Structure 1
């Protein structure tokens, strides 16, 4: 079975598929990368391209750029896709925020991917943190000039940001030559981020939702997030003959958002993309909007005292950042 995934138009005229394949494998309880799932990721990614995915989201930090490039090149060789059919996103990590280091990081990503260009490169976070975990306090405006440089060199087709809040975007827009095409942020049923989404739409910046399921399917004790078996969700899913996760992704699409769900299960890969053959009505949308309780699944509070941390701070003892998030 093949799926036909529509596209959104970016502010530079390029198209990006509205739903992509996310490649973040995650960390285990010891904050170590779950590298044991890498073979399954490769297999699932190949299947994703075979069934119609044309948007792959990765990052320097994820440690899977070589595998992403391997899959893209393999599918080109098999005649499944042409290079121009596939939209590849990667991200520059926090220890490469000096303008010259941005260029180095992008060139290294190109080498790991084995590609001639990258469709989109994002500033992964607005904070600049050395490989030793030191707050370098580099202004993200200076970092952005490095992004503009790699764009002008043709190493990338588009540039954007991730995890930027309204104040940071406002300052960036006032001091930039190139408006970011994307702000990639956490958005799901529990974290709607309406004000930030509205700001991005007003300034013609597409929002891409990461962690689009939030804590929906996570077994987190004492978590206030809406869960998979919520009667509102199950009722809407039954009404449309769809799964709860499909209702979730369709809701994001109807908000005008792209999303990048991740799964290493073939059936779920296909299920996630099978959301363009039905439409939520006004009653459904209104009910889903009410599930927003501002619960953030990704809250790296261990960074909250670093300059340019974009989220609300929490009280209590703050743990040290995991070593796995320093450098790869």
Structure 2
């Protein structure tokens, strides 16, 4: 069993997806195939993860029909600009081995070169009009820059993929998304990004509040966090290369948190971002060449 969310253009997308951020290319295909075997039908990747080719291999290896899989990827800032973004799409579909992309996002807003960001988004609008993508959106857009994009383009993004977990809820971003009719999709939905950064002093996975709620339902803190996202109306894209955890992260459809549980989890917010500040992501600091297909 899974559940779908309807985007602002009427396209249905699985609420719970499988992410491959920081998954090495050599293990990506097997992980994607296993996720699809378990029941995931949304796969999220990005040009800058350098594993789109292996995601495509995992999809083919799974034996699941392409029409049953929702493929999501993101264009990197080095390919912003109108013509550049159109070519970036060609690179992504070439690596993925697909003809269309279900959801294509701009990976970062790049406020320092916002004219290129707008031009890239207009390329996404063209791809949507041409039927090459089914939905378009953004990632890591804060409220002010999101408003600027909406003001300068024709199609409201369907999705804004941002860091959201119990320790960093970004309520202002979620409210801005809601005001525009945009679905919030959580990356690092369980707060793993804080562990990657080496902060071992506090982890969502051993948080006593989350552990207590998990014990009440016979679930793990990870499962409780994913259920929290789903009941709050967000999409979430957990990642793992461990088959047991891949399966466990999908086993979240047989219980329901109470309203008090949801409020308690949201109340764990520290306001501390685990990933990079979107305003710090500039071509000078984060530019990287995305290879041809």
Same fold (TM over 0.5): yes
- Paired residue for 1:64, among 21, 29, 51? 51
Q: 1:51·1:270 contact (CA, 8 Å) conserved in 2? A: yes
Higher fraction of helix = 2
Q: Is the 8 A contact 2:184 2:235 kept in 1?
A: yes
Matches within 5 A, 1:144-159: 144-159=121-136
Aligned runs of 1:14-33 on 2, under 5 Å? 14-25=11-22
Equivalence for 1:110:
93
Q: Which protein has the larger Cα radius of gyration, Structure 1 or Structure 2? A: 1
Alignment correspondent of 1:32: none
Q: Which whole-Å CA distance do the structure 2 matches of 1:305 and 1:226 have between them? A: 26
Q: Could you tell me which of 208, 224, 232 is aligned with 1:231?
A: 208
d(CA) in 1 for partners of 2:109 and 2:264?
Answer: 34
Deviation at 1:174, TM superposition (A): 2.0
TM-score of the aligned structures, taking structure 1 as reference length: 0.82
Question: What is the 5 A alignment of 1:176-325?
Answer: 176-215=153-192, 218=195, 225-299=202-276, 304=280, 306=282, 321=285
Shift in CA distance, 183/220, structure 1 to aligned 2, threshold 3 Å:
closer
Q: Which runs of 5+ in 1 are unaligned?
A: 27-34, 129-134, 308-319
Which residue of structure 1 aligns with residue 70 of structure 2?
Answer: 87
Kept in 2: contact 1:60–1:91 (CA 8 A): yes
Instruction: Count matched residues.
Output: 290
**Would the alpha carbon gap of residues 219 and 90 (structure 1) be closer, same or farther in structure 2, given more than 3 Å must change?**
closer
Distance 2:61 2:203 in 1: 40
Deviation, 1:119, is 0.6
Name 1:45's counterpart in structure 2: 32
Structure 2 unaligned regions, length at least 5: none
Q: Deviations over 1:22-53 (max 9, x none)?
A: 01126xxxxxxxx4xx3333222111101111
TM-superposition CA deviations, 1:194-215 (whole Å, max 9, x none) = 1211221222111110011214
Q: CA deviation at 1:283?
A: 2.1
Change (3 A) 1:305 1:74: closer
Partner of 1:6: 3
| TM-score (normalizing by structure 2) | 0.91
User: Do the aligned residues in 2 keep the contact of 1:9 with 1:15 (CA within 8 Å)?
Assistant: yes
- Please give the root-mean-square deviation of Cα atoms over the aligned residues, in Å: 2.2
* Whole-Å separation in 1 of the counterparts to 2:281 and 2:285: 11
Q: Is the 8 A contact 1:226 1:291 kept in 2?
A: no
